Amino acid sequence: MEIHRLEKCPSSAYYIKDFLTVEEEEFLLKNVYNVPQTKWTQLLRRRLQNWGGVPHPNGMIPETIPQWLQTCIDKVVALNTFCDAPNHVLINEYKPNEGIMPHLDGPLYSSTIATVNLGSHTVLNFYDSNDREKVSFSLFLEPRSLLVQQGNIYETYLHGIDEKYEDILDNSTLNVPSNYQMNQSLKRGTRVSLTIRRVQKVSKLKIKLGR
């Protein structure tokens, strides 16, 4: 993974541009949208699916993760990114002009998180915990890419996505690819993210779900 480390970031962030093939991306998107509508939770500016269970301070009641999603988890784990096996995936769907406020994921999770990006790009902003109004730096996430965060960058910096129809790659963006121009404007499409992580406290009960 060291060859994928983003050197300009606080420790530690790793970015793989073409982590998935086009076929793998299409397979995942097909399955994401093939679940029952009851699996979706609609929020004000995005909608989501929980797989593996719903995290809770008293312990997550584990649910069986479907094989189509487990295959993606296994591909991430093969990079030796996690000390303990991931047991939860949060799927978010963001349409253009949707986003999420700066936040920390909190103590329910281990200090490694992997995000697989599908469908469209986004710009993920990071903020110092003492100043939520000013972006400290940003990362450009392309479709089919993988971002892994560990340690300081995940535990200390808040992260969020602005509500925009298009993004500008500027000096705050630390990983602008060579085939893009600085200050280039990019229109957003619908983006689906798979956030793979380890919930630390799990109940001994277990629920088996179909699909």
What CATH number is given to the structural domain containing 137?
2.60.120.590
Cβ contacts of residue 42 below 8 Å, gap of 6+?
none
Within-domain flag for 208: no
Question: Is 106 within a domain?
Answer: yes
For residue 204, is it within any domain?
A: no
Phi, psi for residue 74 in degrees, rounded to 5: -60, -35
Per the structure, the complete domain to which residue 33 belongs is given by 2-199
Residue 37, pLDDT above cutoff 80 = yes
What is the pLDDT at residue 45? 92
Please check the confidence at residue 149 and state whether its pLDDT lies above 60.
Answer: yes
Q: What is the DSSP string of 31-75?
A: HHTTS-GGG-EE-SS-EEEEES----TT-B--BPPPHHHHHHHHH
Q: Which two tokens stand for residue 99?
A: 């986003």
Domain tally, the chain: 1
Per-residue burial over 130-146, b if 16 or more Cβ lie within 10 Å, else e, is eeeeebebbbbbbbbbb
pLDDT digits (tens, 9 = 90+) for 177-205: 999 999 999 999 999 999 999 999 998 87
**N-terminal to C-terminal alpha carbon distance within the chain:** 32
pLDDT tops 60 at residue 121 = yes
pTM exceeding 0.75: yes
Residue 206's pLDDT is: 67
